[in-house]
Structure 1
Amino acid sequence: MIQIITAAEIDRHKDLMEQAWRLRHKIFVEEMGWSAIARDDKREIDEFDDEYAIHLLALEDDAVVGYSRLLPTVRPYVLSTHLPQLCEMEPPHSPHIVEWSRIGVAGSVRTSGRRLNPTALSILTAIVEWGLPRGLKGFVSEMPTSWLLRLLQLHIHALPLGLPQMIDDVEIVAVNAGFDARSLRQLQTLRGTTDSVLVPECRGVARLAS
């Protein structure tokens, strides 16, 4: 299941967020080698973990096994602030588009092969399921170029914002990805169920921060 936590709810979910910060450090610092963001306390937290950030936590028996973050694009975000060179035009700026970043799953739930990891699939399904009733129409993200085809296969309209560039020895492209009800149906088909991926408390509709 996917737990969605806003800044206002972090105090209520301190234990889960502590796991999330440490999972981020494990993935991005210890495994991927992003030494510039290393911290002695082994918690990866950056300038964008503010009152506007939305955290998506994949849970298995109260353990956080996957994570990603959504940021509003009407404010400075990772692509517009730190990676504008990936865009050949102005980075997207819309109340209906979020940035999807800090995407990772724990080693215990990683899979091999060409199929999309089930935990990652649940997180992406959560973005679409949670986002559609809140007026979201898509996301921007910086990702390996190999992900482009996967998004299209999921009926998510992914368009490059510029040419790929090598970042930390990985070919990365910025995309503007649109989704709709067809995307959700395709994601549910691949998961083999129309059951919600969200924990019950996250299924109501609340107004997004702007």
Structure 2
Amino acid sequence: MLKVTTPGTEPDAALLRAMFAARKAVFIDLLGWDLPVLAGQYEMDQFDDEHARYLILSDNGDHLASARLLPTTRQGILSGLFPMLCAGPVPCAPDTFEITRFCLDRSLNARERRDVRNSLVHALATFAIEAGISRYCAVAGLGWFRQIERFGWSCRALGAPIRTGGQELVGLEIGITADTPQLLEAAGIHCGHGDNRAKAKPGSLPAGHKEWH
């Protein structure tokens, strides 16, 4: 099930807590990012405010995957922290949103991770069409960017990769049109994920785990 929390809607508090806990498990406990922690359990930063939108894939209330969308008309991660990744102006428009905190739950095994990743990518495209979003931007590690640009949609780097914080980062832009979901499906990015999930061992995660910032 896809839950969408947008400004002005009543959030599912339990599911949001599960998402913030999953973000801590991935970005702080696993990847070691230096990020604020709330109550020792939740990863939340200054961009988790009333302007953020959240797409959350859940199964019986359990967090499977999620992404945060930030309006580019306000300062975000690309514009505020990594503007040097853009050879030209940083994307800024009412119909352009930044994908951040793309998070796959650590409880998933390799097959489940692939399925929910594909479902979330597909959901990002369909939500954009419904919400009038014509373009996404994001910050990604170089290896993850190489995967993103093979998903079948229109994706390009906004500038040359830059090494910072021990990794090569890329600013990227994704164009969304009415046929983007079909292009994703043609490349193997489908919207369904299995309900019967074989759990990996607690805390385990397949190699090659990469996320959007």
For Structure 1 versus Structure 2, the TM-score category normalised by the shorter chain is: 0.7 to 0.9
TM superposition shift of 1:33: 0.6
Cα distance in 1, alignment partners of residues 98 and 2 from structure 2: 18
Q: What's the counterpart of residue 3 of structure 2?
A: 3
TM-score by length of 1: 0.81
TM superposition shift of 1:69: 0.3
TM superposition shift of 1:60: 1.8
Seen in structure 2, the aligned counterparts of structure 1 residues 38 and 50 have a Cα distance that, compared at 3 Å, is: closer
| Deviation sequence 1:57-107 (CA, Å, 0-9, x none) | 111221002121001111111110111121222210011110001011112
| Counterpart code for 2:127 | W
Seen in structure 2, the aligned counterparts of structure 1 residues 60 and 169 have a Cα distance that, compared at 3 Å, is: farther
Q: Is the 8 A contact 2:35 2:43 kept in 1?
A: no
Seen in structure 2, the aligned counterparts of structure 1 residues 109 and 187 have a Cα distance that, compared at 3 Å, is: farther
Q: What's the counterpart of residue 52 of structure 1?
A: 51
1:64 aligns with 2:54: no
Between the aligned residues of both structures, percent identity stands at 23
Seen in structure 2, the aligned counterparts of structure 1 residues 192 and 82 have a Cα distance that, compared at 3 Å, is: closer
TM-score by length of 2: 0.80
Seen in structure 2, the aligned counterparts of structure 1 residues 38 and 192 have a Cα distance that, compared at 3 Å, is: closer
Q: What's the counterpart of residue 82 of structure 1?
A: 81
Q: What's the counterpart of residue 157 of structure 1?
A: 154
| Deviation sequence 1:165-190 (CA, Å, 0-9, x none) | 23443321010111223320133342
Query: Deviating runs (4+, > 4 A) in structure 1?
Result: none
Cα distance in 2, alignment partners of residues 162 and 126 from structure 1: 26
Cα distance in 2, alignment partners of residues 179 and 83 from structure 1: 23
Cα distance in 2, alignment partners of residues 192 and 39 from structure 1: 34
Q: What's the counterpart of residue 181 of structure 1?
A: 178
| Counterpart code for 1:178 | G
Q: Which moved more, 1:166-175 or 1:156-165?
A: 166-175
Q: Which moved more, 1:46-55 or 1:82-91?
A: 82-91
Cα distance in 2, alignment partners of residues 160 and 187 from structure 1: 18
Q: Which moved more, 1:129-138 or 1:72-81?
A: 129-138
From the two aligned structures, give the one with the greater helix fraction: 1
Q: Which moved more, 1:184-193 or 1:58-67?
A: 184-193
Count of paired positions: 191
CA RMSD, aligned part only? 2.3
| Deviation sequence 1:2-34 (CA, Å, 0-9, x none) | 211124335x41100111111111111111111
Residues 1-210 of structure 1 aligned to structure 2 (within 5 Å)? 1-10=1-10, 12-111=11-110, 117-189=114-186, 190-191=188-189
Cα distance in 2, alignment partners of residues 89 and 2 from structure 1: 35
Q: Structure 2: any 5+ residue segments left out of the alignment?
A: 193-213
